[in-house]
Structure 1
Amino acid sequence: VEHKVLAGPFARAFPDAEFYATDRQYSFPLNLPDSFLGLPPWTRPLPESGAASDGSWGGEFDHEVLTVKPGPGSMYQDAAFFHGPSGTLLICDALFAATEEPPPILTEEPEYLRALLFHARDTPQEIVEDTPEARRRGWRRIVLLFNFFFPTSAAVADLGVGPLLNLRPYELGWGGWMPFRWKSREAEEEAFNKYSAGGSPTMLPIIQIILSRGGSGEDTLRWVEKVKRWSFKRIVPAHLDAPLAMGPEEFAETFAFIKKGRNEVRFCDQDVAFLRAAEEGPLSFSVYKSSLGVLRGQPCGP
């Protein structure tokens, strides 16, 4: 749901613009109607392909929509847009990259800078000095939490009442809530470096799980082949670093795990353990079985 709440306000801020959304919106944990997600009544369904569109966007854009069904009641969609004049591919969730330096927008906006310093803390009430290293530390931790929820190679979760007992007024927000502790700088740097691989493209582990379920892999590869026909030289994902200097072959390589038939990632195996346990345990009812096996990472730490 949180991925969609900004769409409605954005559409209402530009009432004279045509507003499109992919046609099979799905929200988790509750699959709510589009109106509950804030999508305005004038929302138009995005055609599955630029070849089926009405020639909108002045002929400058082409697009292909990925639609997969990872489970009995769920859908996942992504949309790739190719801007011909600039040779740029726009993508939503199917591909990411991150380097050690936080994106400029996070250091230019006060609210985002507060978030970097909030996550740079080692103790709940710590006031972190605003330094380049503190910003990088906060960014590393945000990336690890964003990708893995519980990056257990680098952090120890505490979901009991202990963190709540430490709450009191705190200038960076949330009462200083900290339901985990970081093991060491060395452990978190190793986990981040495994994820980042020097800024090489990858995908969210939860997205890889989705794309490996049922017939999703075959549908994804067909979409990848359609996207590869465009002559792009850079990719702008919706999250993390951008732009990325990548062409069609590098884009396709991100999805090579499907052809290899193995659900492997370059990340620390401990970091994907929570997602693996969830997909094989409490959430197993909601997804089809994968022919690629469960998500497996690489050994990290001692």
Structure 2
Amino acid sequence: MTQRDLLWRYWFLLPIYPYQNRRTLRREVLKNTIWTFDQVQGIFYVVVPIRMTVVRLETGGLLVYAPVAPTPECIRLMRELEAEHGAVKSIVLPTVSGLEHKVFVGPFARQFPKASVYIAPQQWSFPVNLPLSWLGFPRQRTYVLSNPYEYNPFPPEFDYAILGPIKLGLGSFGEVALFHKPSRTALVTDSVISIPETPPEIVQLDPYPLLFHARDNGLDVVEDTPEMRQKGWQRICLFANYFQPDALEVPQFGEVFTEAKQAPDRSQRAYYGFYPFRWRSHWKASFEKLQGKGRLLVAPVLQTLILNRAPRETIKWANLVVSWHFERLIPCHFQAPLEASPREFRQAFSFLEKEELPINQPSYPLPEADLAPLEKIEVTLSKGKIVPPRSEKI
């Protein structure tokens, strides 16, 4: 039995795709200055890119923003940069609630024992808040960033701004934006995204998730073509951003079970033939509204469940980021780098305001029908006092 066979035999113990088969793609954004490291992760093949950014310091060495999984491939690519530009000196965890970022910081930091680790304030864990060292952060070299900061712990070519932490009952949400002044590049984590129409390169290294979601039912067999990959990617984007978009139907379990017994692929990788999805014909229009020709977007989950709890604080943070007059934006998910303007960044947060900012580009409001399931979740959480009520727009 091969390692891969053994891995799939126990897939249910670690249901976060791509399990142990995690690839890394390094891309040079700005020659000898900025690099991105892309990986993927997801659940039930709803896979999206997750990104780490590395910046060369003017005095030599490297700064790492939002570490990804320190796989042998990832570390090999990092060692190549260290050999040319110097050792990793700073590692930044820019989020409070993003488990997909937080879980890798400790293991990544152990690969670079001389690097200082800077983390967003008010880290938390569930169900019990644990000491930072118990969460894997190295005890003697981990520093909590302050908001507002009294001094800048980063080299002089950087500035930073902290959003939150926004209290959410069981936990909190926070994000550290970092600005590299020489390249006029802003690094952000989850606050904004830009969704590409076609699947990114990192997602296409293993096209199986794309083809899995390109099917119209459990009996469907699709060919591996660019059109099918794009179809699967666009449906994945709807899943990832809405959880249950209006175009998605969930059949009765009996129907799913009966179909699974007849499925052409009943392997473990295919979840034994189970495919509990049906897509209505307007799914494509729903994606086009979400994608908005690649415009900057605050993810629907953040819009409905998190940032509307602190609109004034969020707008203040967005205005501070805009004041950097950046020319390039690198988020941790979906498309990057982005040649986005500060005005476009600020416009993405206009859903928190009573009157949207005027901007000379098409508007792509999110369909109310797609937002409805998230708003139902919000009502349930608010009634149960699990999250605080939303605040009035400013």
TM range (shorter): 0.7 to 0.9
- CA spacing shift, 1:89–1:17, aligned 2, 3 Å: same
Equivalent residue letter for 1:104: E
1:277 aligned residue (366, 369, 376): 376
- SS of the residue corresponding to residue 169 of structure 1 reads coil
1:20 matched to which residue of 2? 118
Identify unmatched segments of 5+ residues in structure 1.
294-302
Within a 5 Å distance, the mapping from 1:115-264 to structure 2 comes to: 115-124=209-218, 126-152=220-246, 154-158=247-251, 160=253, 162-163=255-256, 166=260, 169-170=266-267, 172-184=269-281, 187-209=282-304, 210-213=306-309, 216-260=310-354
Letter in 2 for 1:122: D
Asked if 2 retains the 8 angstrom alpha-carbon contact of 1:163 and 1:178, the reply is yes
Q: Deviations over 1:23-48 (max 9, x none)?
A: 212456x4653556544445332333
Residues 176, 26 of structure 1: alpha-carbon distance in 2 compared, 3 angstrom cutoff: farther
- Are residues 35 and 139 of structure 1, via their aligned partners in 2, closer, same or farther at CA, if it must alter by over 3 Å? farther
- Equivalent position SS for 2:166: strand
- Distance in 2 (CA, whole Å) between partners of 1:275 and 1:211 is 14
**Larger RCO (alpha carbons 8 Å, 6+ apart):** 1
Q: How many residues align?
A: 281
Q: Which amino acid letter does the alignment assign opposite residue 289 of structure 1? A: P
The question of whether the paired residues in 2 share the 8 Å contact of 1:78 and 1:94 is answered with yes
Look up the SS of the partner of 2:366 in the other structure: strand
Q: Does residue 288 in structure 1 map to residue 388 in structure 2?
A: yes
For the pair shown, which has the larger CA radius of gyration, 1 or 2? 2
Deviation at 1:142, TM superposition (A): 0.9
Q: Provide the residue aligned with 1:82 in structure 2.
A: 179
CA distance in 2, matches of 1:279, 1:129: 39
CA distance in 2 between counterparts of 1:161 and 1:14 reads 52
Mind listing any 5+ residue stretches in structure 2 that lack a counterpart?
1-97, 357-363
Q: CA RMSD in A?
A: 2.8
**Identical amino acids, percent of aligned pairs:** 34
When residues 159 and 78 of structure 1 are mapped into structure 2, their CA distance, relative to the original with a 3 A threshold, is: farther
Residue 182 of structure 2 aligns to a residue whose secondary structure is helix
Do the aligned partners of 1:121 and 1:128 also contact (CA within 8 Å) in 2?
Answer: yes
Which residue matches 2:366?
Answer: 267
**Structure 1 residue identity aligned to 2:232:** G
Q: Say which SS state the counterpart of residue 24 (structure 1) adopts.
A: coil
Q: Does 1:95 align with 2:192?
A: yes
Shift of 1:287: 2.0
Residue 80 of structure 2 corresponds to: none
2 CA distance for matches of 1:97 and 1:189? 17
Q: Is the 8 A contact 1:234 1:247 kept in 2?
A: yes
**Which one has the bigger strand percentage?**
2
State the TM-score, normalizing by the size of structure 2: 0.64
Q: Shift of residue 89 of structure 1?
A: 0.8
Quote how far apart the aligned CAs of 1:268 are: 1.8
